[in-house]
Amino acid sequence: MATIVLTVTNDLTYDQRMQRICSALAEAGHSVELVGRELPHSLPLDGQPYRQCRLCCRFNHGFLFYAEHNIRLWAYLMRVRCDAVGTVDLDTLPAGCLAAVLRGKKRLFDAHEYFTEVPEVVSRPAVKFFWEMVARLCLPFYRHAYTVGPCLAEIFEKKYGIAFGVVRNMPLRDASFTIHHSSFKKVLLYQGALNAGRGIEQMLEAMRQLAGVELWLAGEGDLSGRLRQLAAEFGVEKQVRFLGFVKPADLKALTAQAWLGINVLENKGLSYYFSLANKFFDYVQAGVPVLTMDFPEYRALNEQHEVAVLLKKLTPEAVAESVGRLLEDPVEYEKLRRAALAAREQWVWENEKPRLLNYWAAMLSAPAAS
């Protein structure tokens, strides 16, 4: 069995995908360490079946943060004992690639998103050019990689000339599942970062047309303060609950209380357009229908199990109309709910984990130079 170090730039407490990946590798017998970032508001880490390390940086935003974090991460990777380095996304690739190549360690790349096409990057040509250069310089040193969905895998293979597998970001099967939401008030639940492009502003404005409905927001982000102001400006503050950061274990119980899960994004870059968010699967695992965008990955999933209302455009009017239609048509809602109950048996981490382990086994069994 191998000693594996995986790297991210985020706090480790709320990263469900990495928790599942590291746990799966540890359960397979590997010695695993996940290296992330310590923030001023970081909570103490929960116990996991793998080691955890958080690097503390002087800078927490912008170029100086990425530069400092990669320098600290490179220094850490140069001294830590390991057989392989798993680098997650382009923002840890400089350090991960350089350390693994210099030390002759095996390496694997995990793309959680289309990093150069996220809204924060795609609108800034110089920043986008920098990260594109990072990818062009580093990825030729990799022969093993995977990402979160088929569309992104195809794009990355054509763009970078290496094969990308797919490990979808699905939740663990919930054996304790019980249906709660049918007897509760009509709750629209959004879980995730309160950042630009997530459609939260449109959701808040739509609430003005949705009497008797509540919107729960589980998460914080760059727009936390502004969104609270908007709720007051729109006169919907009594319909909106800002729940702050919620730990994954608590999020399950919260999601089970929802009537409809919200996964709406502005089409502000190819990363969002080809996204396959974990929240979509979390809602389905709780037996909750979803309001999501009519983007390729969600459209393909909805053709397998019609669990969602697909939104063709993100406007307050379109949101209010779609939610209102479900409120007025309990038969249609029940059809979506029953589809979610069927899909939840298939869209689970237990079906994705073998793919993950196969990709890692292939990398670990390959010659060190490949």
DSSP letters of 106-158? EEEEEESS-GGGSHHHHT-HHHHHHHHHHHHHHGGG-S-EEESSHHHHHHHHH
- Looking at per-residue confidence, does 181 or 2 come out higher? 2
Tokens standing for 291?
A: 């309001």
What pLDDT, on the 0 to 100 scale, is given for residue 368?
Answer: 64
What pLDDT, on the 0 to 100 scale, is given for residue 178?
Answer: 62
What pLDDT, on the 0 to 100 scale, is given for residue 40?
Answer: 85
What confidence tens digit (pLDDT) does each residue in 305-333 have? 999 999 999 999 999 999 999 999 999 99
What confidence tens digit (pLDDT) does each residue in 227-250 have? 999 999 999 999 999 999 998 888
Are 348 and 285 contacting, i.e. CB atoms less than 8 angstroms apart? yes
What pLDDT, on the 0 to 100 scale, is given for residue 99?
Answer: 98
What confidence tens digit (pLDDT) does each residue in 98-147 have? 999 999 999 999 999 999 998 888 889 999 999 999 999 999 999 999 99
What pLDDT, on the 0 to 100 scale, is given for residue 369?
Answer: 54
Rounded (10°) angle between helices 150-160 and 296-304: 140
What confidence tens digit (pLDDT) does each residue in 14-44 have? 898 999 999 999 999 999 999 999 988 888 9
- Looking at per-residue confidence, does 14 or 79 come out higher? 79
How high is the mean pLDDT of the chain? 94
CA dist., res. 213 & res. 128, Å (int): 40
Choice among 189-193, 268-272, 283-287, 293-297 with the minimum mean pLDDT: 268-272
What confidence tens digit (pLDDT) does each residue in 81-110 have? 999 999 999 999 999 999 999 999 999 999
Share of the chain above pLDDT 70, in %: 97
CA distances in angstroms from 350 to 123, 220, 249, 317, 343, listed in the order given: 38, 29, 18, 39, 14
Choice among 181-190, 207-216, 329-338, 350-359 with the minimum mean pLDDT: 181-190
- Segment of 41-55, 68-82, 256-270 carrying the highest mean pLDDT: 68-82
With cut-offs at 50, 70 and 90, classify the pLDDT of residue 354.
Answer: very high
DSSP letters of 205-226? HHGGG-TTEEEEEEB--TTHHH
- Model confidence, pTM: 0.89
Query: Across-strand partners of 309?
Result: 291
